[in-house]
Chains A and B, each alone.
Chain A
Amino acid sequence: MTPLSGYLLIALVLLPLVTAALMLLMGEGRRPAKAIVNVFSTATGLAIAVMLLLGVIESEAPAAFSVYLSGNWPVPFGIVLVADRLSALMLVLTGCVGVAALLFALARWQHAGVYFHALFQLQLMGLYGAFLTADLFNLFVFFEVFLAASYGLLLHGGGGKRVRAGLHYIAINLVASLLFLIGVAVIYGVTGTLNMADIAEKISLIPDGDRGLLHAGAAILTIAFLAKAGFWPLNFWLPPAYAAASAPAAAMFAILTKVGVYAVLRLWTLCFPPDAGTSAGFGGEALVLGGIATLGLGALGMLGSHHLARLASYAVIVSSGTFIGVMGFGSAALTGGALYYLASSTLAGCALFLLVELLERTRQIEVGPQHLDDGRQALPSFQDIEPPPGINLDDDRVALTGRPIPAALVILGLAFAALALVTAGLPPLSGFIGKLAMLTALLELGTPTAWMLFALLLLSGLCGAIGLMRIGVRHFWITQDRPSPHLSIIETLPIAALLAGIMLMVGFAEPLMREAQATAESLQTPRLYIDAVMSTRPVGAEEAAP
């Protein structure tokens, strides 16, 4: 790795922050300019994330961790940013989802609120930061940054349903954040440090009397993460909130739950590896059982959903449940398959949430003007997207909207079928490949809980397939003489791009799976991570020391 790569880490956090500040300075109008800056910044973020991922994949063990010391403080004292294989993978996923959601929003949703672009960039900043930081309290700060932005994005577009779902969402996340703080405080009290690598190193030195306290702190912290990851029984807020959110916001939310999942995976593999003495694998059983319960609830929810938005929300729950349940076994082969599945299900979830709105639009043509909401407060109708005469909000807003594409219903149908295959995990698309890898590894494990998860994985695929098929039939087959919906290129492009990404994952399944396995194996040996972080010296320290 070149020495430059350390600065790439901080650039990934600073770029969205500066862009967001710029958006606020640009005031309320000038949407075309804002859109261009936003697209440019988000695409640059994705490019940096891809560079980081390629960098860490190509390097061997010590250089496979790109470490940046913010403020040039020596290691255990300052905040450290670390990119390894896992976090770089999550960064790339964030970038992909961000670009897709933003392009989709350019068509219509950016007009529904003034601060959409600023909130969007702040959410990206929080996400990038949360995936990069190696400091527990800094993780809390980045969590709050992207959560605060997500509160705003959830309410984007207004309406009674969104406000009601938003109130529940904010209340639950505030309580979860308080649990997060309690967990961090207990862990700090026991280990005397907040640096994740330092905590992991001190775990084996903790006296037996304090070990219970450490476990309690870790458990409380994990509950906070799991509440955000949509884990049973802490996930009843998720379907209403995600189904109520506007399409681009919901598409971004597809990655929000993955932050909780990532945090659990990162801290659990780091702090409780098999060689951690009495703490080895602490809570693994609970993660597996909770994952099974989450998976079961998500599958039932998918079976019972009549709306695609709700079904997509339950698909997010299924994805979290599968990943955490599989991860809890602590086997590298399983986690590798799960990582591949996570990437595929995140892209599919994002595309599904975008597709929801286009499909709802075909229904609205049929049933008249939109009554998506409960009727008391209708959604902002986009009929009057042209400003009233005399009010000049933007310079030329027709440029990005309009331009209907031909054969819209056929394109929507094909996209829906492909996404249904991925979400339900049916061959030949990437959902199946990920599931197959997990199922094979579960068979080798052969314990009763592994068998239970094996059966549930298959069953949830069936439930998802039934639920999706019912919605597909209702949308595409039942009514023959339905007018073709009005789609613009800019709205179809992100869905097509996400599908192309999924197809690439299928085409390059073997090398990607190999990389996923290597990632999982590097997670099983936390010593590499700890050494990489602890051995980093501040810039210029060699010159200063005699």
Chain B
Amino acid sequence: MEIVISIAIGVMTSAGVWLVLRPRTFQVLIGLVLLSYAVNLFIFSVGSLSVDREPIIRPGLAADLTQYTDPLPQALVLTAIVIGFATTALFLVVLLALRGLSGGDHVDGEEERP
């Protein structure tokens, strides 16, 4: 499972970085979204990946991370998703405003001169 998750994070990060460096605003937006997915998965994975383990301590099981999953990264991811979503929405608004003002979708507001 570690390999699958790390490949997923890697693919999304590389695609995200490539898109963020593109000159079109919409590509930058999608790049930022992909990067934030990758980061969210990454935060999730630092709490050690496990299947069928609960974050709630039960009597009879030793209270360490071999028996349970760490609930904190999940809470962090939730916060990061909310904040990332809000700021991305704000970016989308500015993107549309620039589109309206400049009439193009270049990140600098004008096409490069050849």
Contacts and interface: CB of A to CB of B under 8 A. Distances in A.
Chains A and B bind each other: yes
Contacts of B86: 148
A137 interface: yes
Given A148-B86, A160-B102, A164-B98, A170 B91 contact: yes
Contacts, number: 90
Using C-beta atoms within 8 Å of the partner chain, give the interface range for chain A: 20 to 34
A167 B94 CA distance: 6
A160 B91 CA distance: 15
Interface in B70-105: 72-73, 76, 79-80, 83-84, 86-88, 90-91, 94-95, 97-98, 101-102
Given A160-B101, A178-B39, A188 B107 contact: no
Contacts of A166: 94
B20 A171 contact: yes
Given A164-B108, A164-B109, A185-B76, A175 B101 contact: no
Q: Chain B at the A interface: mostly helix, strand, loop or mixed?
A: helix
A144 B102 CA distance: 28
Contacts of A163: 94, 97-98, 101, 109
Interface in B1-60: 20, 25, 28, 32, 35-36, 39, 42-43, 46-47
Interface string A151-174: 100010000100110111011001
Contact of B32 (A141, A174, A189): A174
A163 B107 CA distance: 11
A174 B108 CA distance: 17
B32 A171 contact: yes
A456 interface: no
A144 B39 contact: no
Contacts of B72: 188, 194
B73 to A, nearest CB: 7
Contact of B35 (A175, A185, A188): A175
Contacts of B87: 144, 147-148, 151, 170, 174, 177
Interface centre among A177, A185, A377 (most CB of B within 10 A): A185
A377 B35 contact: no
A141 B94 contact: no
A399 B94 CA distance: 34
Given A151-B90, A185-B76, A175 B32 contact: yes
Given A141-B79, A144-B83, A188-B73, A167 B35 contact: no
Nearest to B25: A167
B102 A164 contact: yes
Contacts of B94: 151, 155, 163, 166-167, 170
Contacts of B43: 181, 184-185
Given A170-B91, A171-B91, A137 B79 contact: yes
B80 A167 contact: no
Contacts of B73: 185, 188
A181 B84 CA distance: 11
Interface of B: 20, 25, 28, 32, 35-36, 39, 42-43, 46-47, 72-73, 76, 79-80, 83-84, 86-88, 90-91, 94-95, 97-98, 101-102, 107-109
10 contacts: A137-B76, A140-B80, A160-B101, A164-B109, A166-B94, A167-B94, A174-B91, A181-B42, A182-B39, A189-B46
Given A188-B73, A376-B102, 5 more contacts: A171-B91, A185-B39, A185-B46, A186-B46, A189-B46
Interface of A: 137, 140-141, 144, 147-148, 151, 155, 160, 163-164, 166-168, 170-171, 174-175, 177-178, 181-182, 184-186, 188-189, 194, 376-377
- Which 10 pairs across A and B sit closest by C-beta, in order of nearness? A189-B46, A185-B43, A164-B109, A160-B101, A185-B46, A144-B83, A178-B39, A163-B97, A181-B39, A163-B98
